Amino acid sequence: MLSVVAYGLAVVLSLFCVFIGARFLLVPRASAAGYGVPAKPDGDPAYLTIKGLRDLSYGLLGLALIAFTTADAVAWYMLIVALNPLGDTVVVLRHGGTKAVAFGIHFATAVVVLLDAVLLFAL
């Protein structure tokens, strides 16, 4: 049962990264607003594309690791990738975003990713 929960959560988190990445590539300004730091109208859209590619590639890498490696490898990946939502928390707080978004979305995501790492290490 623990295996189903740990791997199921890893798949959901990875698919969510794919979704976020694709959304940043397709509708970057709306995605930036949802991220917690709206894009400036005259800002450089390259940064939004970079964010989309980063999230998309992390999600695809997570799915590949789930499909082709061990639980320990996926756990290490989750442990390391948790740095992204932790960093996103700081970015939102430092650039005028709300504490609700910073902690309610980004920090909470980091906690869930870390919890999944713990579950995967327990397998």
Q: Is the pLDDT of residue 44 over 90?
A: no
Number of domains in the chain: 1
pLDDT higher than threshold 90 for residue 41:
no
Mean pLDDT, rounded, for 12-29: 97
Per-residue pLDDT of 60-73, as tens digits, reads 999 999 999 999 99
3-state secondary structure the chain: CHHHHHHHHHHHHHHHHHHHHHHHHHCHHHHHHHHCCCCCCCCCHHHHHHHHHHHHHHHHHHHHHHHHCCHHHHHHHHHHHCHHHHHHHHHHHHCCCCHHHHHHHHHHHHHHHHHHHHHHHCC
Per-residue pLDDT at 40 = 87
pLDDT tops 90 at residue 43: no
The share of the chain scoring above pLDDT 90, in percent, equals 93
Which residues form the domain of 6? Answer: 2-121
Q: What is the pTM of this model?
A: 0.93
pLDDT, one tens digit per residue, over 77-109 is 999 999 999 999 999 999 999 999 999 999 999
pLDDT at 116: 98
